[in-house]
Amino acid sequence: MNLHSVTRSIQKLASSVPKLTQASVGIGRLGRISLVTLLVLPLAVAFPLMVGRFQVGLMVKFLIFAMFALSLDLLWGYGGILSLGHAGFFGLGAYATALVLIHFDGPGATYLGLLAGMIVPALLAALLGYFLFYGRVGGMYFAIITLVVSTVLNQMVITFIEFTGGLNGLYPIPPLTIYIPGLFDLEITGAAPLYYSMLICLVLFFLFCRKTVNSGFGRLTRAIKDNETRVEYFGYNLANGKIAVFCLSCALAGLAGGLYAPAIGFISPDLLGIAMTTEVLVWVAVGGKGTLTGAILGALLVNLIAFFLSGQLVNLWYLIMGMFLVAIVIFRPKGIMGYLRE
Amino acid sequence: MGYEPYLVQFFNGLSIAAILILVGYGLAVIFGMMRIINWAHGEFFMLGAYVVFVIGEAGGSYWLALLIAPIIVALVGAIIERFLVRHLYKELLATVLLTWGLSICLRQLVRLVIGPEWRYIGNPLPGSMTFLGISYPLYRLFIVVLAVAVMGLVGYLMLKTRFGLYCRAVRQNREMAAALGVDTDRINLLAFALGTGLAGLGGAVMAPLVTIQPDMGLSFLGDSFLVVIVGGAGSIMGIVVSALLLAGVRAILSFSIDPVWSYILVLLFATVIIRFRPQGLLGTKREE
Amino acid sequence: MERPRMVLETRDLTKQFGGVVAVNELNYAVEEGELRCLIGTNGAGKTTLFNLVTGALKPTSGEVYFRGVNITGLSPHQICRMGIGRKFQSPNIFQELSVSDNIRVAAQGKSGFLGLALHTYDETFEDQLPPLLKSIRLYEMKDLRASSLSHGQQQWLEIGMVLANHPSLLLLDEPTAGMTMAETRETVGLIRDISAGMTTIVIEHDIGFVREIAETVTVMYRGRILAEGRLDEVERDEMVRDVYLGRQRE
């Protein structure tokens, strides 16, 4: 037993980790589910029983961020379209939903609010997309315009104080309610109920994204990313294809924002800012874009680390994130999931 | 009473345009040469302002700082190009993330090292000049004069010197230029340094007029990008014209409308332009 | 007296790039069901013609008619939907997708969006997939990433993709470019099989290949048609020999 053999066995163990993470089990019509998920899921369900209320509340936020990250992964990881203003759509959805919930008191407000949270960003995306994709605007310019758009949205939210509360934000925001006429009108409040609702939402989100990615539309999206001119010679309208994935992604981002508003109870213009966009980009890049699970992993992991580095070091943390981003780009462009899959 | 406010606004617009031209041209050089959009460009602007601040704190004169700032910022730019940006010329979208990350790093470093507090420096050229019935601040006039002089220098550099010739050759056709013996790596480095140096100069010049804080580059970034988009990355004239246009439009609009709306309208204007003329107003179509 | 239906017809089609006239008042016509070869020296305008027909380029002047319909100036996806399929010179496929997915994407190009989103698994298509894969000799590789195929196999994949799109006019641009001798021989059979019941135009440099498959041959030179007819007739044509042997004629 010497140093050499020890390091060798550690190496063998380490290299088997990626293979283990690939292992999966079939569950009939729902597809395959990885071994890792099977292990993690019970943990996720038991989580609120193991930790205090504060941590659970934190996790609620992180789960919503994971959904936000998934929406970006669809657009960027699968569609190859880089948006530098995705937080704009997330925040737009949050404000749309919040405003509906605050001003509309009836039953079913939640459904209306979430619908608004999806439709408003989707409409903006459609407008932008129509203009930019039909104009054959290149990837770089598109990125710039999304950046400027989200900045403008940020400014607008700050300026129109009567609607949005300006820099002070909106507070309090009525909670989510599940309303089934005749049966019940259930408010979702409290850390644990919120946690489980968001967990379910995340799972549904993920399944929806996966179904989309594997559909004909998802295939088209990946083909566009791969070789967009070729796609036209098979009869596809390229601009429409891009508009569709952009709208879908922004609608999902808006939905995540729409969940955020009542779940957290307070929103501010920061949700639309550059910092937020940077964060979601980092989550997806770190986790591995184009993998879906990478988006969830990145969102959870990065936010957890950020939390542990606590408030004092927020500036330092942001610096580290920036360096992270630079390092990822130069050294490991595939992210964690990408690395594991190789 | 009549035209005076408009004249003042006109010169205000001119001075803003002057800065936009400096910063925008720096951006355009980098984009035109290397097809990289430098998201950290605003931070070089910010660094220029901070150099002026630091030199002021150390007792130096503003004019000295104005001379030194672009040089220091250009050096920083050169180092960044040499060790980071150089690796990514093939993957353009990756450079977006890279420079975005750099932007964060630079802002946070300044925040941590110098401090997040908002700083101010005094007007180095107080007083005003009376002409055409208005009294206008000397310093703002100086900005316009400086910008014209610098752009004239840069124009001379680009059009009449060997370096400028190489730059234009590389921009038109990189492979051909390399095959003809041009050291494209060196040109990239120098162009990047030039671009960032110009941004630093812009920041140094703006320093007396604005709040100096780590995020000051961000607000200028959007405007600079719009200038490059509208004006096209290929020509000096394009940048100049579009900077004048955008600054002018903003100045006129801010008269009667909320600055947010003027920002939106400018954005709409730029979007429409880029939709119908992707090469910018005065740019030439690139055969990709 | 009814002429046989012209599938493709160009009228005085011209394309100018600055000072260079790539296609010069070209009047080119192909009948229903033909297997036509298009040959000529480099720069004769063959690929430019394809570009003009498929909408990749807009002509400087002149028109293109497909089955009597003026398609001049339409966009590539519109032209494809009318029934023109194109195989590019170098393999133009989706590298990151699997072989089967490549074909699936190609096949669904003409269905609307809702169709794409709702139908993940199209029974009829999936049934047709294995025979198609076998006909392009790629059945064993159906789940492999396209980027892992050899150059020749990628060419076949692209042919298969274009076929899956159900065109009625097939434009093949140098389908054997970069192929080994063995692959070229395979491709002969492949093209003969697929061109049955379809109108096909093949751009080729390999005269041996042309000899194997062509019925009618068109020779282009400097944007114009130099000669047209059966290969043995064309080979004996004086002007064609001059051009190919390098003696320039104005």
Report which secondary-structure segment, H or E, holds C221: strand C216-221
**If you count them, how many residues does chain C have?**
250
Chain A residues closer than 8 Å to C119 by CB: 215-216
The whole-angstrom distance between B125's CA and the closest CA on chain A is: 33
* Predicted confidence (pLDDT) at residue C107 exceeds the cutoff of 60: yes
SS3 labels along chain A: CCHHHHHHHHHHHHHHHHHHHHCEEECHHHCEEEHHHHHHHHHHHHHHHHCCHHHHHHHHHHHHHHHHHHHHHHHHHHCCCCCCCHHHHHHHHHHHHHHHHHHCCCCCHHHHHHHHHHHHHHHHHHHHHHHHHHCCCCHHHHHHHHHHHHHHHHHHHHHCHHHHCHHHCECCCCCEEEEECCCEEEEECCHHHHHHHHHHHHHHHHHHHHHHHHCHHHHHHHHHHHCHHHHHCCCCCHHHHHHHHHHHHHHHHHHHHHHHHHHHCCECHHHHCHHHHHHHHHHHHHHCCCCCHHHHHHHHHHHHHHHHCCHHHHHHHHHHHHHHHHHHHHHCCCHHHHHHHC
When pLDDT is averaged across residues C55-77 and rounded to a whole number, the result is 91
For C7-49, the pLDDT digits (tens) are: 899 999 999 988 888 898 899 999 888 889 998 888 888 999 9
Is the pLDDT at B213 greater than 80, yes or no? yes
Does the beta-carbon distance from B271 to A278 stay under 8 Å?
Answer: no
pLDDT at position A28 over 60: no
Q: Do A217 and C117 touch (CB under 8 A)?
A: yes
As a whole number of angstroms, the distance between CA A76 and CA A304 comes to: 23
Instruction: Check residue C115 and give its pLDDT.
Output: 63
Whether residue A136 and residue B267 make contact (CB cut-off 8 A), yes or no, is: no
Residue A260 belongs to a domain: yes
User: Does residue A110 form part of some domain?
Assistant: yes
In angstroms, the CA A108 to CA A94 distance is 17
Q: Tell me what ipTM this predicted complex has.
A: 0.86
The number of beta carbons lying within 10 Å of the beta carbon of residue C242 is: 14
Q: Which of C166, C158, C168 is nearest to C136 (CA)?
A: C158
Determine the Cα–Cα distance for residues B261 and A152; give it in Å rounded to an integer.
Answer: 9
CB atoms B108 and A315 under 8 Å: yes
- Would you call A329 and B263 a contact, using CB atoms and an 8 Å cutoff? no
Closest CA to B209 of B118, B269, B140: B140
B24 Cα to chain A: minimum distance (Å): 14
- Could you tell me whether strands B128-131 and A184-188 are parallel, antiparallel, or unpaired per DSSP bridges? unpaired
- Are B42 and B217 spatial neighbours (Cβ–Cβ below 8 Å)? yes
pLDDT of residue A145: 84
Q: Given a cut of 80, is residue A112 above it in pLDDT?
A: yes
Fold of B8-120+141-276: ABC transporter involved in vitamin B12 uptake, BtuC (1.10.3470)
Q: From C193, C218, C190, C192, select the one nearest C204 (Cα to Cα).
A: C218
Beta strands in C28-123 (DSSP E): 29-31, 35-40, 61-66, 69-70, 84-87
Is A306 among the domain residues? Answer: no
3-state secondary structure C100-164: HHHHHHHHHHHCCHHHHHHCCCCHHHHHHHHHHHHHCCCHHHCCCEHHHCCHHHHHHHHHHHHHH
Shortest CA distance from B261: residue in chain A: A156
Beta-carbon separation of C105 and A244 below 8 A:
no
Among the residue ranges A18-27, A188-197, B185-194, the one predicted with the least confidence is A18-27
Res. C66 pLDDT band, cuts 50 70 90? very high
Total domain count for chain A? 1
Taking an 8 Å cut-off on Cβ atoms, the answer to whether B112 and A316 are in contact is yes
Distance of CA C104 to the CA centre of its chain: 20
Residue with more model confidence, A336 or A310: A336
Q: Show me where the domains of chain B are located.
A: 8-120+141-276
Neighbouring chains to C with at least 3 Cβ pairs closer than 8 Å: A
| Residue C33 forms contact with A (CB below 8 Å) | no
User: Count of A–B CB contacts within 8 Å?
Assistant: 109
CB contact under 8 A, C116 and A222: no
Per-residue pLDDT, C249: 45
Q: How far is C92 from chain A (nearest CA, A)?
A: 7
Report CB contact under 8 Å: C97, A219.
yes
Instruction: Give B122-181 pLDDT, tens digit per residue.
Output: 888 888 888 877 888 888 889 889 988 998 888 888 888 888 888 888 877 777 888 888
Q: Mark yes or no for CB contact A223/C97 under 8 Å.
A: yes
Cα of A315 to nearest chain B Cα, Å: 6
Which one of A6-10, A157-161, C110-114 scores highest in mean pLDDT? A157-161
- Nearest-Cα residue of chain B relative to residue A275: B104
Q: Is A342 on the interface with C (CB under 8 A)?
A: no
Please tell me which residue, C17 or C123, carries the higher pLDDT value: C17
Neighbours of chain B (3+ CB pairs under 8 A): A
Note whether B110 contacts A: Cβ–Cβ < 8 A.
no
- C222 backbone φψ class: left, alpha, beta (φ>0; ψ -120 to 50): left
CB contact under 8 A, B105 and A155: no
**Distance from the Cα of residue C19 to its chain's centroid:** 27
Helix (H) or strand (E) holding C2: none
Please compute the mean of the pLDDT values over residues C177-197 and round it to a whole number.
Answer: 85
Question: Which pairs with CB-CB distance under 8 Å and at least 24 residues apart come from A40-46?
Answer: A44/A199, A45/A196, A45/A199
Q: Which of A211, A234, A240 sits opposite C106 (nearest CB)?
A: A234
Among A231, A236, A247, pick the best mutation site for testing chain C contact (most C Cβ within 10 A): A236
For A84, the domain range is 52-272
Contact between chain C and chain A (3 or more Cβ pairs less than 8 Å apart): yes
Nearest C-alpha in B relative to A130? B275
- Which residue of chain C comes nearest to A219, CA vs CA? C105
Find which of C98, C111, C116, C154 to mutate to test the A interface (most A CBs within 10 Å of its CB).
Answer: C116
- Asked if A234 has any chain C CB less than 8 Å from its own CB, the reply is yes
| Percentage above 70 pLDDT, chain B | 85
